[in-house]
Structure 1
Amino acid sequence: MVTFKQIEALYWISKLGSFNAAATQLHTTQSAVSKRIQELEGRFDVEIFDRSRRSACLTPKGEEVLRSAQLLLDTRNTLLAQLGAREVMFRRLRLGVTELTALTWLPILISSLRKQFPQLEIEPEVGLSQALYERLVDNTIDLIIVPDTFGDTRFMMTPLGKIENAWMFASGVMQAERSYTLSEIAEQTVIAQGKDSGMGIVYSQWFLANGVETPKVIVCSNLVAQIGLTVSGLGVSYLPKECLSHLVKKKILRIAKTSPRLPIMNYVAMYRPAQPIDFHGEVARMCQECCDFSRLVLQAPN
């Protein structure tokens, strides 16, 4: 039988880095904490911590178990808080997302949130990354889903998914059969997102790091419009490869092979840490489960 004391021991050892620190956190002795882990390992004949190292390091199996343990502890804490509350909890979620999220997996997330929290009032906002980040700083929004560009230690950041972008263009803009250098791409009219877009920030810095200037730029911070301008043959643009693959298959858009390749975009959920009930952390973990940038909501099923 697995107990919450064993689960708590596993969680705090991994979080604090030692059995002794976990014992202090749990107001018990180091030997008691060690015994809980030994009982847990013995019950299932698995090794959770790598004892060949000086510090408390999880084995691959331990890493796997830790994720479930954290979810279990969060669920327990939420249940205890709900039972102790006089009113319905979690009435409102102010959720900020970029356009790409809204066009792909936001409906999946909203559906999951409504099932998990039937009384939850969701206030969504679709905007550019910089504006959403400023709202989070001002505490006028609860959680944002944006590219990982801010690195602000005041906020928790849960990794979600990765976006592979590609240089795309319409027939007639460039030759599709050859590869291009970054300098050759920069000679084209580049349809780019602006300085308030997370993707625009990353790629502007990337161009500078590679010593390349883009003299002919059409700034467009609306993804749908950016796609439309590219399909219209007005220039070359960096666009999400997977969710636009149907346009590539139909040869409405073509992909330019380039060296170096565009950097991968990492998306995160950012939110303020909260105690004792980490509701926004639970929402962030639901974002992890729902995250899928592979398909546009407007795209007809195959």
Structure 2
Amino acid sequence: MNLKFLETFVWVARLKSFRLTAEKLFTTQASISSRIAALEADLGVRLLLRDSRGVSLTPEGSKVLEYAEQMLDTAKALKQSLDSDRAKVGRIRIGVMDTVIHTWMSPLVSELMERYPQVEIELVADTALNLREQLQKGFLDVILQTDLLRQETIRSLDLARYPMGWIVASQSIYNRDYASLADLARERIITFSKNSRPHQEVLSLLQAEGVGAPRLNCVNSVAAITRLLRDGFGIGALPPALVSEELARGELILLPLARQPPSLELVVAWQTGVELVDEVVQLCRNVLERYARDAGPQRIVLV
């Protein structure tokens, strides 16, 4: 519904004159008549009656007027809120793990820059373990990583899960049928950095299958893991969301084992009492929801 047409209707109802409304909105009476006609056609009802005595509302027009005024007030409040955000200054320090960088970091940064053009956005990319340490020491304001934190000055919120999978190059020797996880574990497995949560969970999964010493290769860069997999270096234990394009092109494939690695958790944690931090956390949630809607549950699942 066109807000300009609603605004025109509201002013006609208030001034009871097309001429005065045209003067108020710096346009012509013909333009005012055209807007009202378009609004009536859109709603499918007659809103105004014109006769020699002037302009009056129909019963339907009176009902629409109430809602139109509410919609215009809401639009005005929204604009004022956005204008207020754009006037804010300062700095926000955000730490992100590699998985976020390779999925929905770009739209988040774009929205932050659009909403807070005068705020300095300082980004730090690191492992989840290092990010938690930097947040606890006060070097970061918000972090996106894998673990809930419980500390007096820190809050955290479980956001989502990245489903994990066993991923190989389609043309590699590792693209074959595996009888079990124990069978798969005889091969070289590439996963996240040592002692990270996904590394520990993959290790625990394989040990539960009776694999005492799996050949785990720990790499702390998603780009490096992807390159190694594409070059046929081994079997990747990572979220398919990180290699969506390679999977779509058929360069990499997801092995159809019944037991996949445990999902990678996504948690936001932040320092309390820091200016803008609550707004940034909410913006993270909004951007993530849009990414999840577009990517689908095979790639990410909101909590």
Residue 242 of structure 1 corresponds to: 241
Give the TM-score of the pair, scaled to structure 1. Answer: 0.61
Q: Partner of 1:140 in structure 2?
A: 139
Instruction: Considering Cα pairs closer than 8 Å and 6+ residues apart, tell me whether 1 or 2 has the greater RCO.
Output: 1
Return closer, same or farther for 1:174/1:234 CA change in 2, 3 Å cut-off: same
Distance change (3 Å), C-alpha of 1:89 and 1:151? same
**3-state secondary structure, aligned to 1:112:** helix
C-alpha contact (below 8 Å) 1:180/1:256 kept by paired residues = no
Q: Which amino acid aligns with 2:172?
A: G
**Distance in 2 between residues matched to 1:253 and 1:279, nearest whole Å:** 41
**Offset of 1:130 from its aligned partner?**
0.6
Given the superposition, is the C-alpha separation of residues 142 and 151 from structure 1 closer, same or farther in structure 2, using an over 3 Å criterion?
A: closer
Distance 1:190 1:121 in 2: 40
Shifted more, 119-128 versus 187-196: the winner is 187-196
The correspondence for 1:152, drawn from 150, 153, 160, is 150
User: Structure 1 residues 121 and 278 mapped into 2: Cα distance closer, same or farther (>3 Å)?
Assistant: closer
What does residue 122 of structure 2 align with?
Answer: 123
- Say whether the 8 Å CA contact 2:94–2:123 is kept in structure 1: yes
Deviations 1:171-228 (A, max 9, x none): 232344x454221121111112222544324433444455533432322111111111
Deviation at 1:90, TM superposition (A): 5.1
**Structure-2 change in CA distance of 1:140 and 1:221 (3 Å):** same
From 280, 289, 292, give the equivalent of 2:286: 289
| Structure with the bigger percentage of helix | 2
The structure having more radius of gyration, on CA atoms, is 2
Relative distance call for 1:286 and 1:211 in structure 2 (3 A) is farther
Please, which runs of 5 or more residues in structure 2 have no aligned partner?
Answer: 1-76, 296-303
Partners in 2 of 1:265 and 1:92 — Cα distance? 30
- Specify the alignment match of 1:66 in structure 2: none
Distance 1:156 1:202, change over 3 A: farther
Q: In structure 2, the residue corresponding to 1:218 is in which secondary structure?
A: strand
CA deviation string 1:131-178 (max 9, x = no partner) = 11110111111110112x3543443122333211210112232344x4
How many aligned residue pairs are there? 211
- Rounded to whole Å, the distance in 1 between the matches of 2:222 and 2:256 is 22
1:109 aligns with 2:96: no
Structure 2 SS opposite 1:213: coil
Report 1:173-252 matches (<5 A): 173-176=173-176, 178=177, 180-195=179-194, 197-252=196-251
Are the equivalent residues in 1 in contact too, given 2:191–2:238 (CA < 8 A)? no
Where 1:288 maps in the other structure, the secondary structure is: helix
Q: 1:256 to 1:209 in 2, by over 3 A?
A: same
Q: Quick one: distance in 2 between partners of 1:198 and 1:279?
A: 29
Q: Which digits, 9 at most, give the CA deviation of each residue in 1:111-148, with x for residues without a partner?
A: 2112222221111011111111110111111110112x
Q: How does 1:257-296 map to 2 (within 5 A)?
A: 257-274=256-273, 279-291=276-288, 292=291
For each residue in 1:14-57, what CA deviation from the matched residue of structure 2 results, as whole angstroms up to 9, or x when unmatched?
xxxxxxxxxxxxxxxxxxxxxxxxxxxxxxxxxxxxxxxxxxxx
Q: Structure 1's 232 and 205: CA in aligned 2 closer, same or farther, altered over 3 A?
A: same
3-state SS of 1:152 partner: coil
SS at structure 2 position matched to 1:94: strand
Give the CA RMSD over aligned residues: 3.1
- Identical-pair percentage: 21
Q: Which amino acid aligns with 2:188?
A: T
